[in-house]
Amino acid sequence: MGKSRQIKRRRVSTKNILIIGEGESERDYFTQLKHHIKSENKVENKSENLNAGGNFNIVPDKSENSDFKTIFERAEKNKEDYQWIFCLIDLDHILNHSLYDKYLESKKQIESSGNIFVIESCPCFEFWILLHYEYCGASFCHCDDLIKNKLKDYLPEYKKGMIKHYYPQIKNKQELAVRRSKESKDNRDREIQSETFGSENSCRISFTEMHILMNKLLDCECKI
């Protein structure tokens, strides 16, 4: 993460961000991100004896169950305790089990809370990891397909739950991944507008909205 993105601000009251993912990959990724930000800011602010230069506390979390209903219920339960809550949703299971319409209904309801945001990835969170290495416009029905056919070109031993071992390799590629993430979302939106899609087929295009979350963290920075 380039230091040019780090914002130096006066100290203000701490605000909290809760990030709820479906599994260990999401939780471990943001745990490593916290450690990285903390390490960088300790160096920059050592004369002031500060832990970090921003005003947000990131709380990565893992849902007990990986279905979107459980994630949304957890977000709803915690909405009074956090300024922002981000729900990280993989679409492969939702699409493969014909749950997309029910998911959209639940998503609309949960986002009406005002401080809860849904961050989608198709097929899964690992698409975000892949974007650290290349932009990919291919579609994948399952997360395992993406890992086997693409991600293992760069991380041959990768399995779900192993991201903490690979974070040091990808941390300096995050800004590039953010740009590619936005490109993937823009491309998906253009395809939907230019073609006639069913509600489920529209999400078969690989994309992620992780740039939205990452830009929030980069712009505000994080107090650990």
Q: Look at residue 4 and tell me if it is in a domain.
A: no
Q: Which residue has the tokens 């990986």?
A: 66
- The model carries a pTM of 0.82
Q: Look at residue 172 and tell me if it is in a domain.
A: yes
Q: Look at residue 84 and tell me if it is in a domain.
A: yes
Q: Look at residue 117 and tell me if it is in a domain.
A: yes
The whole-angstrom separation of Cα 21 and Cα 137 is 24
Per-residue pLDDT at 203: 57
Regions of the chain short of the pLDDT cut 70: 1-15, 40-58, 62-65, 195-203, 219-224
The whole-angstrom separation of Cα 107 and Cα 61 is 19
Q: Look at residue 3 and tell me if it is in a domain.
A: no
Per-residue pLDDT at 192: 80
Per-residue pLDDT at 49: 30
Q: Look at residue 8 and tell me if it is in a domain.
A: no
The whole-angstrom separation of Cα 221 and Cα 224 is 10
What is the domain range of residue 205?
15-220
DSSP 8-class letter at 218: H
Number of domains in the chain: 1
Peptide bond into 123 cis (omega under 30): yes
Angle 83-86-91 from CA coordinates, rounded to 5°: 165
